[in-house]
Structure 1
């Protein structure tokens, strides 16, 4: 698993979109028993904190201590620095395992072997995340230009799985049909910039060139953003599966 986010852990915690409680409640509604959940690559713990309303104990892991230093505290959440592909947990320990906006960085084969080891036979595995947001047409044009053209060569190859809405990742589970969700936020221009700053490709660009890629569109983007309503709508990605008998 790559660690692309330790350097901007505080930015990530401040500016990344949150998942609504309604969305996490929907995921939890599929789980029969709610003794223990695991949120892998938890980042700042935003999913773990909402799962904590449903489960007796939530474990939340990340390879970045800096990310966990910014995590949301709760009495029934246990944060641990661990790799997704090799955990210290007991066999068949979890009723639910979630991965939010991170599975594309994993070694799929090693991770899924671990999921099959630590997930209970009647437990569920959930992959979620969000795609590129949409907003007003003028800002959309500029943001797509930044995303596709300016940053095109700076995205890690694994990022294509997000662009493909997680439909092309390996998914060795019996899949459960789900509803479609989106989340809409109203952001200031400063918040928009903070979110873009958290993109891994932006950090790669800055390290290579010593300049900020947003500077190439900043003035035009600011004008378009501030004369519109500041709304950003993210399509949510969601796949839910249970252990397949064919894999046991």
Structure 2
């Protein structure tokens, strides 16, 4: 199941992009730069950065809404498809990434597909960013929202994000790839727009829960200095194939 079958435009507008330095490291760690495949690409937050460093990039996502809202230069080809049945040719990819997506996959099936499409020496990198930190002065209120109010609506796979993929199965020899945090200067509407893209928020609304995001916004508004620096820790689990 995908929690992001709709809402591609909102995802494109409000999800943060990744540090350019991360894309630099990924591009410098592969045998060649002919083709990168970004799985669970969403609207292309990482895909666009890869396109600046690879000759060609294929972005794959199961949601047509996400793909329709994706953008980027002409060397990106976006395709609707699943991580477990990738629409990519055998032995063609030098880099395979999954950014903020691998925790949703059937991992054994995905890993089989990665091995099918990968060239010898290709790099697989699973990237996740953790819980956003909006600042110490509002941390207690945000933590209550995240863990106790909206927390009951998170799908169980979210636990992998909270742990920084520490418990995610990865059957390949690991290589260390350091990643800087994502940092943004946001106004309150940016922040609320981002929160509204969460799968837990969508799930809460589908169940008819009270508008927990509106209550959070009202509580944060008196304290939000604009723009406010917000940040996400980034973890990369990577290995050669």
Distance 1:177 1:215 in 2: 40
Query: What is the TM-score of this pair, normalised by structure 1?
Result: 0.93
How do 1:22-171 and structure 2 match up within 5 A? 22-171=21-170
Q: Secondary structure at the match of 1:123?
A: strand
Match of 2:235 in 1: 237
Matched length: 241
Q: Secondary structure at the match of 1:173?
A: coil
Q: Secondary structure of the equivalent of 2:57? A: strand
> How far 1:211 sits from its partner (Å)?
3.1
Q: Distance in 2 between matches of 1:229 and 1:55?
A: 34
Unaligned 5+ runs, structure 2 = none
Partners of 1:155 and 1:201 within 8 A in 2: yes
What SS does the corresponding residue of 1:217 show, helix, strand or coil? helix
CA contact (8 A) 2:100 2:128 kept: yes
CA-atom RMSD in angstroms: 1.4
Query: Displacement of 1:178 after TM fit?
Result: 2.0
Check whether the contact 2:12–2:69 (CA below 8 A) recurs between aligned residues: yes
Native 8 Å contact 2:61 2:81 kept in 1: yes
Q: After the TM superposition, which segments of 4 or more aligned residues of structure 1 sit over 6 Å from their partners? A: none
CA distance in 1: counterparts of 2:139 and 2:4, whole angstroms: 25
Which string of whole-angstrom CA distances, capped at 9 and with x for unpartnered residues, describes residues 117-148 of structure 1? 11112100011121012132232111111110
1:125 is paired with a residue whose SS is strand
Q: Any residues of structure 2 matched to 1:186-197 within 5 Å, and which?
A: 186-197=185-196
**Equivalent pair of 2:104/2:157 in contact (CA under 8 Å):** yes
TM-score by length of 2: 0.95
The unaligned stretches of length 5 or more in structure 1 are: 244-248
